[in-house]
Structure 1
Amino acid sequence: MNVHFWGVRGSIPTPLSAQQVRAKLFSALQRIKPEDIQSDKSKQAFIDSLPEWISGTTGGNTPCVELTGNNSEKIIFDAGTGIRVMGKIGNIPEDFHYNLFMSHFHWDHIQGLPFFDQAYNPNASFDVYSPFDNMKEYFSKQMISPYYPVTFEAFTKNFRFHVIEPGKTLEIGKLQIDCIKMSHPGTSYSYAVTEGNKKFVYATDVELNSKDFVNTVERSLIFENADALVLDSQYTVEEALRKENWGHSAFCYAIDFAIAWKVKKLYLFHHEPTYDDRKLNTIFESAKWYANYASGSNLEIYLAQEGMEIDL
């Protein structure tokens, strides 16, 4: 399996501001030395030496994660604004077929679909899956006047919707997909994809609580011994306490959860829109310290970023 992050931000798209770009430039200039600008090679080496939060960006697009199986099966998790970028520069399947799995239908998870080029390709086909009954209606409602100039009917006619049931395994090629209901306003579902002896879990928009740590057959199937877990970690603990019932988790709760379920690699996801790259880097450093304190070297931790890939 290969997993590619096209959108990792939560709640609302957050493009870099002019002030944030200037702050990055100022931080870079503070680090520069005369020998760093003696040649094009030294300039490039200096740029390469900068921390990622200065030389790059975590990204501002809302959730979209693409999974490609070893036999080229294509699964997309959520249709946030990241799916627009996927349509511009991503690899198009030879058969123009996509399997779209929806965690839920809040705006930040559906707002990219009207901008996904392949949705208008008459040769493309989509199988859309979730436990929600009214998927087509939810997509269509964001594409009516006066909110959007093009209706859902402008899409390819090859959209098929499938209501799936948690607890029943779905097979797409060699991929096995299971889902579980999570705590989030209006409900959200997490998905596990198993191929051979590898398991990937997509768990966005989750407000973790004590029941999520209770070992049940259903939770064990989804989370236990996952090779990679993409998990909502939008808040600090202080914010999580202030924003109880908002539907998101603190990064340290996400780490505790991953340790409890013996996850190998944790990817912090659904980043708070008010956090800039510097703040996210500070959180990431704190998360690495806490993960090492809580688990030693048993849990690898990463900050999900646009363009990042996972190979399992």
Structure 2
Amino acid sequence: MFIHFWGVRGSLPKPLNNENVQAKLTAAIARMTPKDLESAESKMKFISSLPDWIYGTYGGNTPCIELRPKSGEVILLDCGTGLRDYAMYGKQPEDRHYTIFLSHLHWDHIQGFPFFGPSFNPAVTIDIYSPFDDVEESLEKQSSTPFFPPNGCWESVKNQCHFHKVEEGVPLELYGMKIECLKMFHPGDSYSYSFQENHKKFIYCTDAELQPSDFDKSIERNFYFQDADVLVLDSQYTNPEAARKVNWGHSSFSRAVEFASIWNVSDLYFFHHEPAYDDKKLDSILSAGINYQKYNAKGSEVKIHMSREGQEIVL
């Protein structure tokens, strides 16, 4: 499996502003020495030595992940604003066939769909999978007046779209993979997806407020997460913010670390980043997560990452 992150923010997009850019430049200059400017090689060495929050950005697009199984099919997980970037910069399938899995229909997970360029091509086929019954109706409303001009995009794309219902507890065999979904705690419900191929397991679990029962090994459904090679997990909040926002449907980074440790996950990717957090804040959360694991999840070998636009994983 090949995985590419196109959108990692939650709730709404978070573009860099002037203040963010100036803070990065100021921090870089403060670290610079005359020796760092002696040659092109020394300049590049200096740049590559900078902390992640200075060197680049974790990204501001809302959720979209590209997944390609061994068969080469293009699978897109959610349709946040990252979907538009995939359409503009990603590798498009030669057969013009796209497969989309939607976790749920909240705005930040579908807002990129009306701007998905390939959908306007009559030669394109888009298969959309979801546990919800009203996906077609919701996408039609989104792309119609008063949200779009008369004769808006739905009339241009509806014939390319084919809708499929998936059910919790009923595995789907598709493109040589075993695909399963699991309902998570989130207002209006949200579903995680598990993709298994060649003894590797990738789980996409956005918009999930982890509950005590999710950690219970006496509950059979929870073994869905056991031994995942990669778990992309909602880790939107710090602990104090999570305490203030109980029942909002999102988790703290520390709960994510505990959860991944309990279920013997190999690699955990913090995801659905809070839009109020800048890159420096996200960097500090990553460090805090690693330290939390060290002192509170002893014996855990899970590797912790902060999801970043442009990041790629090969399983």
**Counterparts of 1:284 and 1:173 in 2: how far apart (Å)?**
34
AA partner of residue 100 (structure 1): I
- Letter matched to residue 253 of structure 1: R
Q: TM-score, normalised by structure 2?
A: 0.96
- Partner residue, 2:99: 99
Shift of 1:218: 2.3
Q: How many residues are treated as equivalent by the alignment? A: 311
Q: CA deviation at 1:52?
A: 1.3
Structure 2: unaligned runs, 5 residues or longer: none
2:78 maps to 78
Write the deviation string for residues 144-188 of structure 1: whole angstroms up to 9, x where unpaired.
222223231211612110111110010112111000111000000
Q: Does 1:184 align with 2:176?
A: no
For the pair 1:304 / 2:302, whether they are aligned, the reply is no
Kindly report which structure 2 residues correspond to 1:22-37, keeping only aligned pairs within 5 A, or say none.
22-37=22-37
* One-letter identity of the residue aligned with 2:181: C
Mapping of 1:39-188 within 5 angstroms?
A: 39-149=39-149, 150-155=152-157, 157-188=159-190
* Structure 2 equivalent of residue 274 of structure 1: 276
Cα distance, 1:249 vs. partner?
A: 0.2
- SS of residue paired to 2:9: coil
- Asked whether the 8 Å contact 1:98–1:126 carries over to 2, the reply is yes
The TM-score, its normalising length taken from structure 1, stands at 0.97
- Return the alpha-carbon distance in structure 1 between the equivalents of residues 30 and 275 of structure 2: 27
Deviation at 1:70, TM superposition (A): 1.1
> More displaced, 272-281 or 168-177?
168-177
Aligned-pair identity (%): 51
Separation of aligned partners in 1, 2:211 and 2:158: 41
The code of the aligned residue for 2:233 comes to L
- Structure 1 residue ranges without an equivalent (≥5): none
Which one-letter code corresponds to 1:228 in the other structure? V
How far is the alpha carbon of 1:98 from its aligned partner?
1.1
Determine if contact 2:261/2:300 at 8 Å carries over to the other structure. Answer: no
Give the ranges of 4+ consecutive aligned residues of structure 1 lying more than 6 Å apart after TM superposition: none
Instruction: Tell me, in whole angstroms, the C-alpha distance in 2 between the residues paired with 1:278 and 1:296.
Output: 29
1:125–1:156 contact (8 Å) kept in structure 2: no
State the alpha-carbon separation in 2 of the partners of residues 102 and 219 from structure 1. Answer: 21
What SS does structure 1 have at the residue aligned with 2:79? coil
- Structure 1 residue identity aligned to 2:268: L
Structure 1 SS opposite 2:256: helix
Q: Are 1:262 and 2:267 an aligned pair?
A: no
CA offset digits 1:65-107 (Å, max 9, x no partner): 1110012122111000000000011111111111100000000
